[in-house]
Amino acid sequence: MSSVEVQLATEPADGNIAVRVLLRLTPRERSRVFVSGDVLIHLPTEGVVLNDAASPVTRTGLFLSELAELPGGFTRVFGDRTAADAFAASVRGQLDDAAARLAEL
């Protein structure tokens, strides 16, 4: 049984919608990720709003282990609720699949 903790939060951000993804893995799950191979999480970019401090190239993927290491999680800002909801659903599905995979090991 997996104890992967996934939190997705959607909140207003300067007239836009921010989606924050937070992932916590136990030490055992981290070991399983290492042994079985890290999972690349696809980060949809449709509807993304870039700010002046943003990288000129929007990230389209993040490894599961990398996401778990981000203390504040990963945040992406969208111009509308539809794009934000689509991003959240896509990422949630991928993280659920990864958690199920870890639970099988």
Whose CA is closest to 9, among 101, 102, 104, 92?
A: 92
pLDDT value at position 31?
Answer: 85
What are 36-87's pLDDT values in tens digits?
889 999 999 999 998 766 666 788 999 999 999 999 999 999 999 999 999 9
Domain boundaries, the chain: 5-100
Stretch (H or E) spanning 77: strand 74-78
Q: Give the whole-angstrom CA distance, residue 55 versus residue 1.
A: 38
pTM of the predicted structure, to 2 decimals: 0.86
pLDDT value at position 34?
Answer: 83
| Planar angle of CA 66, 94, 22, nearest 5 degrees | 45
